[in-house]
Structure 1
Amino acid sequence: MTNTFRLHVTGRNGRTRESDGQIGASLLAILREAGVDEISAICGGNCACATCHVYIEPASLLPKPRIEETEMLDTLLHQSPISRLACQVVPTAGIGTLKVKVAPEE
């Protein structure tokens, strides 16, 4: 089994890029390593600001969000059923490909 997965990222400007992500790392760290600089994560990845809001498909491949993440997402105007906080998502084995879109700024 591989320790990586394929990541397709669409930025706010519509630009797309592909890279590999490391299983077990936070999606926030993976996106930063891939050069996605549109995510500020001003709380440092502590689930306290929602500035790392992204849309992820297929969401069914990820563990369900914890209550703290759900509560933070509930404060957003642009929340959708596929909304997640990149700082709280840790891809696990078995994920082949994730599509991530950076959410609009709040």
Structure 2
Amino acid sequence: MRVRHYLRRPPTVSATEALQLVHDGALVVDVRRDFEWNRVHIPDAVHMPLEVLPDRCIELPEDTLLIAFCTGGIRSAGAANLLVENGFDAVNMSGGLIGWRAAGGELSE
């Protein structure tokens, strides 16, 4: 990914808002590395590590809100910008995994 993806602030939602959006049909795109995903992840999320996102984002649905997700919200900010640049309706979830847990979001191991 290019530096420009981190220079702009992407559309952002809180973890509480993300929980509601997922309930309404949004899809979480987890951009963390494999070992992070294998440790714990959000049920029904799509795992697409940041390093492969530019080449694989074409596999994501075009008619669904995408919520970029990582551990702390920094990598997912770049991912959300990249997705928006590629024509997707995408937002970054601020707070990452910590925020998701605090908001009562479920996790799978």
TM-score, normalising length: structure 1? 0.32
TM-score, normalising length: structure 2? 0.31
Higher helix share: 2
Higher strand share: 1
